[in-house]
Structure 1
Amino acid sequence: MSTLYSTKVTAAGGRAGTVKSDDGLLDLSLALPAPLGGKGDATNPEQLFAAGYAACFENAVIHVTRSASDKVKDDDIVVVAKVGMQPYGAGGFALTVALDVIITGLDQATAEDVVAKAHAVCPYSNALKDNIDVAIAVSVN
């Protein structure tokens, strides 16, 4: 199987460090969130993961409707990704993930079908499969 795209990001300094992409487009400071005892004055890995998942899932919805009669356009969909962290095992941590998907122009049953198909093709969803349960709520406008 050939790789369609790859990127390289370097993290240094842990949760109080930086992340930088090899092309220079991503160059951010990181901070431990305030609820975890940090300053919270910069982004954190969970926010970055939520942003990536939301954008990727939104595009997966658009992708699965390309050949359908009920096409979904960029402006017809909003995905809100909620990523949390909870204790897991012997001092470890696990992520929690929930997606709220709002689609304009489709009926509820069609929107739910489209979202189920998107969940099956989204690379983030596939990476989490059998690892993290992703709670998905679908609503229509």
Structure 2
Amino acid sequence: MSEVLFTSKATAKNGREGHVKSDDGLIDLNLVNRAANKKDKGSNPEQLFAAGYAACYDGALSHVAGEQNKKIDSETTAEVSFMKDPEDNGFKIGVTLNINIEGVSPEEAEELAEAAHQFCPYSKATRGNIEVKLNPKAV
């Protein structure tokens, strides 16, 4: 295994209709299965994954821009969809990353978005497992 820089920990109880809490208490959320329950308030695994992926990817984008000596301001919104999987009658997720990059041309935005996708740990973890669509936009 590679050198561990830090480890985060969270515990879920009762799955999609339960509760999730991080070991430091910063995340302490009721969970609601949005596919079956549209009225109750609560988070879900897809929302939590979207938050993590957006933050990780936007950090990777800043890193690759810095490596190329490009000064940017960026914002990434991750849309994580919960979908039927026709292959096994189960479920799967897909991700769309909407990336706004200020300070570069449309061509540079596309190049930076792809470079960040190659560098981002979440992108590496999901590569070949789920469909990830990049929507870079120079603003």
For normalisation by structure 2, the TM-score amounts to: 0.92
2:53–2:78 contact (8 Å) kept in structure 1: yes
What displacement does 1:67 show? Answer: 2.9
What displacement does 1:3 show? Answer: 1.3
Aligned to 1:3: 4
Q: Distance in 2 between matches of 1:62 and 1:106?
A: 13
Q: Distance in 1 between matches of 2:114 and 2:107?
A: 11
Runs of 4 or more, structure 1, over 6 Å off, are none
1:115–1:138 contact (8 Å) kept in structure 2: yes
Q: Distance in 2 between matches of 1:111 and 1:40?
A: 39
Q: Distance in 1 between matches of 2:88 and 2:106?
A: 42
What displacement does 1:23 show? Answer: 1.5
What displacement does 1:49 show? Answer: 0.6
Aligned to 1:91: 89
SS in 1 for 2:98: strand
Aligned to 1:111: 109
For normalisation by structure 1, the TM-score amounts to: 0.91
SS in 1 for 2:71: coil
* Aligned amino acid, residue 91 of structure 1: N
Q: Distance in 2 between matches of 1:40 and 1:111?
A: 39
What's the RMSD between the two structures over aligned residues? 1.2
Aligned to 2:126: 128
Aligned to 1:68: 68
Q: Distance in 2 between matches of 1:67 and 1:122?
A: 14
- Number of residue pairs matched by the alignment: 136
Determine whether 1:82 maps to 2:83.
no
CA offset digits 1:50-105 (Å, max 9, x no partner):
11101111110001122322122xxx111111111111133310101111111011
Q: Distance in 2 between matches of 1:103 and 1:65?
A: 10
Q: Distance in 2 between matches of 1:43 and 1:26?
A: 11
* Aligned amino acid, residue 101 of structure 2: I
Percent identity (aligned) = 41
* Aligned amino acid, residue 13 of structure 1: N
* Aligned amino acid, residue 48 of structure 1: L
What displacement does 1:40 show? Answer: 3.9
1:32–1:40 contact (8 Å) kept in structure 2: no
Determine whether 1:19 maps to 2:20.
yes
Q: Structure 1: where are the runs of 5+ without partners? A: none
